[in-house]
Amino acid sequence: MTLKQAIVTQALPLIKPGMVVGFGGGTTVGELVRQAANLVNDITVVTPSPTTRQLATVLGYTVVSPQYCDRVDLAFDGCDQLDHHGNALKSGGGIHTDEKIIASLADEYWLLAPKQRLVDEFDTATPLVLEVLPAALALTMRAISDLGGQATLRTATNRDGFTLSDRGNLLIDCHFASYAHLGALNQELATLAGVVETSYFDQLVTNALLGDEETGKVTTLF
């Protein structure tokens, strides 16, 4: 059994018939979507991920938009880093705005990740990502610089141009020398005019299943 399969095995019993379940992106969550389709009936799915949405639809789930949900029973997602206080950093997929909406709707927000992603202090190797309205690009870049950061506008790898969110907004990767005051830094940027959302999840994580790559064991955090 792979580590991902071990994590999925622990997550499956949490899903009950009739639930509204959020599934994020990534291969571990994708495996959970596949396994749950065979074991649990009558699940309504919400997802921030186009890939997961397509998979869930093919597997026969009822998939609804988060805009029509006022509550999610539980949601599963991945992360780049997680601390011991229920905070997380996510950067890869650029779908953190929708991920955060679903996390906020969920009674329980579970992260599924390798154990080494649990940290005492966040590593600045993972950027803080902003989804930004195009009109606010210059304003946001200046604010990041004023806060001591370096901003990189994310570009597409398979086409000429910028990487855009599903809403047509820009994604800015912010690198800072220190995350010692990440909460305050995040607040400064999150309230800036034109910033839609940030990839810092401030005490939104209620639970986590963490797999140890050396032992193969899965532990529950929180």
Catalytic machinery residues: 99
Structure tokens at 103: 């996390």
CB 25 within 8 A of CB 51: yes
Q: Residue 163, SS3?
A: coil
| Helix intervals (H) in 89-222 | 96-105, 137-146, 182-190
Question: In the structure encoding, which two tokens stand for residue 5, read together?
Answer: 């399969």
Give the span between the Cα atoms of 132 and 137, in whole angstroms.
Answer: 7
219/7 Cα distance (integer angstroms): 9
Residue type, 83: D
* Tokens found for residue 143: 């604010």
Two tokens, residue 54: 């397509």
Beta pairing partners, 134: none
